[in-house]
Structures are given as structure tokens and as C-alpha cells.
Amino acid sequence: MKKHIVIVGGGFAGVHIIKSLKNDQRFRITLVDKNNYHFFPPLIYQVATSFIQASNISYPFRKMISDSRNVHFHMGSLVKVNPESKTIETDTGTLSYDHLVLALGTESNFFGMENVQKCALPMKNIEEALYLRNHMLLNLEEAARNKDIKKAQRLQNIVIAGGGPTGVELAGMLAEMGKYIAEKEYPEMKLGLSNIYLIDALPTLLSPMSKMAQETAYNKLKKLGVKIQLNISVKDYVDNKVILSDGNTIETETLIWTSGVIGREVPGLPSESVAKGRRILVDQFNKVNGVNDIYALGDICLQLTDPNFTKGHPQLAQVAIQQGKNLGTNFKKMEKSEKLNSFKYNDKGSMAIISKFNAVVDLPKFSFNGFLAWLTWLFIHVIPLVSFRSKIRLALDWFRLFITNNPSIRLILYPKKNANQ
């Protein structure tokens, strides 16, 4: 009988298992996801800033698997795992499995701050990116017609919590778009009131990257006018005031949260299988500790057996891609009773774009920045997109937008059931 593999989560890890096993008639695969599309998280900030369309970085699962005879899609959210009965419960039905793969990824971590969780704007998925886009565009419109200087400044101020790649890329994009667009399209707005703040509790931006990358990001963002505050964290957000750890406050109606992540909860797993940050402990084959036939991949898993990453792998797309490929190969080896491949991460480096024509790239043996790094960033971020059409469309859009400095998709759209609501 065919082995039934249930994959929960259609991110990089889940998609690359499917690529490894599609049309292999020894397996029946069911992909479970709460959305009906795969998307590319590293570019989600460009959706939030109206630079590219959401469709540029997303692709429907059913379209993706339409030529795979052994792959099916189940739209639903995971509710519970039942290891004893080898079933999972979703909000749209129950599925049995022979092998279960958990690749749910992470969600924003607000570190127990209730007001921040309630009022800050995260950017982990397409829906949140589109909501943030609408929020910022609506604030600009209100600021343009507001005669109260204090209120106008509060509407224009943007605070970004988190100085990692997402925070740096977002700050650079917002600063450049404000420079090229605001003066032309919002002539009635007092532009001198606008400030972009980038806050981080660590002493440097881009803390996992090289010193060259950190200094380049800091200096370039400073030159663009971003107000960088390091060794300072957000402690609360009350009455449109961001309260900082040094006692200062910033008045703003836009607190963007990129400051941390936590694994998505998986009810039903034994507590000893879950580590700090809700990451799921796995062995060298990505099998979850303490249970049989359950595997965890990508950002949600914590593997301590890789000799080069004894504290766990970084939560990067490349880790998920490589783990997905390795587990797909191991499923085939299991069918032949062959020795399995232990997972060892091949670190290909990291990168971040800072502004137009300027990026930083850390490779295993050397680092570089500037225009060449920017071209490298563009190339690397087009390759992983699922469809050929998406790659061509995104490349053409980027070429046009970087030349004109004027994206034209700044539309405030309200999804409603009918026109009278």
C-alpha cells in the first residue's frame, strides 16, 4: 500500500518535499495549509510598502500540484496532533497518516506585551502585509488633510521594532519611497514632520551578519534619515505612544513589529518534545524526539546534532529548503531499507538590501556590499519563486520600479461583502 505522508505547512520545507516525491507512486501526499497559496516571505515587506503586488510572490497550491498525480491539497488549520492514533485534527476535518511532517513555521513573538500584541502591526504573512499597506496609506491621507501639527506628526511617524534583515530592509524601503514619492504626491503635507525610527535591543543592526554588513547598514540608513536607536527595546504601546526601555516615548500610530518570532503551537506533542521558543526538538533525521513517524522542518524545528550548529540552525529559508530535500530523499531510502542521510546544513551565506543599488552580502569566505551585492540580492531572490511567470514578472517590475522610483499600486482596498457595508 502507498505510504500516506501528511505535510502541515506549505512553506519552503513542505514544497521541497513535494518536489522530491511528486509522481512517485509509492507515496500518497496530502498538503495541509490554512491558506490556498505558497508565498515567499523574504519579499513580503515589498508588498507592505506597495512596491510589488502580492501575486508577484505567491502561487496557488492547487496550480502548483496540478501535474502531480500523488499529491492532494487540504485547506485547513491544524488543531491537534494525535500520535497514538496517527491522526491530525484540522478545523476542516481529520486526516490519518503514515508519516507526518510539521513545517508550520513561526509567528510573531510579542514577549508577553499585551498592548503591543493588540496594537502593533506584524508582517509575517500576506494578509498582515496588505493590512499594513492599507494602514500606512490611510495615515498618509489623513496626515495630508490634518491641520493639527501634533496629530499630523503622529500619523507620519513610523516606528520599526527589530533591526534584523526585515527591519533594515523595511526602513530603507520606506525612507527611499518617502524621499521619491511623498514630495510629488502629497504636496499639502508638512513633510518635515515625518520620522522613521528603527529600534533594536542589541548593540548593532543585522546582528548575525559581518561587522562590514552591520556598519554599512547603519551608515546608509543614517544617511537616508532613519533614526536608529540601539541597546533600546520597546516596553509598551499605550495611547499611540511607544514606550522605550530608556524611559523615552515616541508618538506614532504605526508600530511595525519585526522584533522576534516563536514557533506555532502544535497541541498533542509531548512537552519534552518542545524547547524554548516553541521550537520542536528533532534528531539528525528531523524526526521529532519522543514520538514515532513525526518530523519537523524549517523554522519550527530545533536540531542540536549538526556539528557546525550545536545550538540549532538559523531560521532561514535555505535551512528549510535543504531539510525538505533531505527528508524527501530519506523517505525514498526508508522504502528501500537503506541507510538514512543525517541533515547537515550547507551555509551559503546571508544578505540584506539596504536601499536602491545598495545591499550587503556575507558569503562563507568573504563579504561585499554596494551595487554588485544589490544585483546578487535581486538574483538570489528571484530564483526561489515557484513559477517561471512569477520570476519574469517580478524581474520586469523591479527593473521598471527601480528606474522610475514610482510604484503605482498604492491602492487602498477594502474587502467587503457588499457595497452598502
Going residue by residue through the chain, which has 421 residues, state the pLDDT in tens, using 9 for 90 and above. Answer: 799 999 999 999 999 999 999 999 999 999 999 999 999 898 899 999 988 888 888 999 999 999 999 999 999 999 999 999 999 999 999 999 999 999 999 999 999 999 999 999 999 999 999 999 999 999 999 998 888 888 989 999 999 999 999 999 999 999 988 877 877 788 887 767 789 999 999 999 999 899 999 999 999 999 999 999 999 999 999 999 999 999 999 999 999 999 989 999 999 999 999 999 999 999 999 999 999 999 999 999 999 999 999 999 999 999 999 999 999 999 999 999 999 999 999 998 899 989 888 899 999 888 999 989 988 887 787 776 666 567 777 777 777 777 776 666 788 877 655 544 4
Question: Is 76 part of any domain?
Answer: yes
Alpha-carbon distance of 163 to 234, in angstroms, equals: 12
Q: Which domain holds residue 28?
A: 3-108+261-335
> What is the total residue count of the chain?
421
* 265: nearest Cα among 5, 96, 75, 79: 79
- Beta-bridge mates of residue 82: 87
- Per-residue model confidence (pLDDT) at position 420: 47
Residue whose C-alpha cell is 503622529: 154
- Per-residue model confidence (pLDDT) at position 382: 74
Question: Is 360 part of any domain?
Answer: no
Question: Is 315 part of any domain?
Answer: yes
CA angle 4, 107, 62 (to 5 degrees): 40
Residues 38, 55 within the same domain: yes
* DSSP reduced 3-state for 164: coil
Alpha-carbon distance of 380 to 374, in angstroms, equals: 10
CATH label of the domain that carries residue 35: 3.50.50.60
Given a contact cutoff of 8 angstroms between Cβ atoms, the answer to whether 320 and 103 are in contact is: yes
- Per-residue model confidence (pLDDT) at position 387: 67
The conformation of residue 85, written as its DSSP 8-state character, comes to T
Residues 93, 196 within the same domain: no
* DSSP reduced 3-state for 219: helix
Residues 232, 100 within the same domain: no
| Grid cell locating 281 | 526538538
Question: Is 72 part of any domain?
Answer: yes
Residues 255, 265 within the same domain: no
Residues 277, 208 within the same domain: no
> Given 271, 303, 335, which residue is the final one in a domain?
335
CATH label of the domain that carries residue 197: 3.50.50.100
Residues 298, 241 within the same domain: no
Q: What CA–CA distances, in Å, run from 173 to 50, 128, 292, 334, 359?
A: 10, 17, 46, 47, 12
* Amino acid, single-letter form, for residue 304: L
Alpha-carbon distance of 33 to 354, in angstroms, equals: 32
| Grid cell locating 112 | 508577553
The conformation of residue 193, written as its DSSP 8-state character, comes to G
H-helix or E-strand spanning residue 385: none
* 31: nearest Cα among 66, 65, 82: 65
* 173: nearest Cα among 352, 349, 39, 53: 352
What are all long-range contacts of 386-395, with beta carbons under 8 Å and residues at least 24 apart? 386/15, 386/38, 386/59, 386/64, 387/59, 387/64, 390/56, 390/57, 390/59, 393/56, 394/52, 394/56, 394/57
> Given 259, 279, 297, which residue is the final one in a domain?
259
Number of domains in the chain: 2
Residues 37, 88 within the same domain: yes
Sign of CA dihedral 382, 323, 37, 332: positive
Residues 239, 120 within the same domain: yes
Given a contact cutoff of 8 angstroms between Cβ atoms, the answer to whether 350 and 315 are in contact is: no
- Per-residue model confidence (pLDDT) at position 50: 87
Question: Is 396 part of any domain?
Answer: no
* Amino acid, single-letter form, for residue 225: G
Question: Is 125 part of any domain?
Answer: yes
How would you list the strands of the sheet with 87-90, edge to edge?
78-82, 87-90, 93-96
- Per-residue model confidence (pLDDT) at position 8: 98
Residues 101, 124 within the same domain: no
Question: Is 143 part of any domain?
Answer: yes
> Given 335, 359, 394, which residue is the final one in a domain?
335
* DSSP reduced 3-state for 222: helix
* Amino acid, single-letter form, for residue 40: F
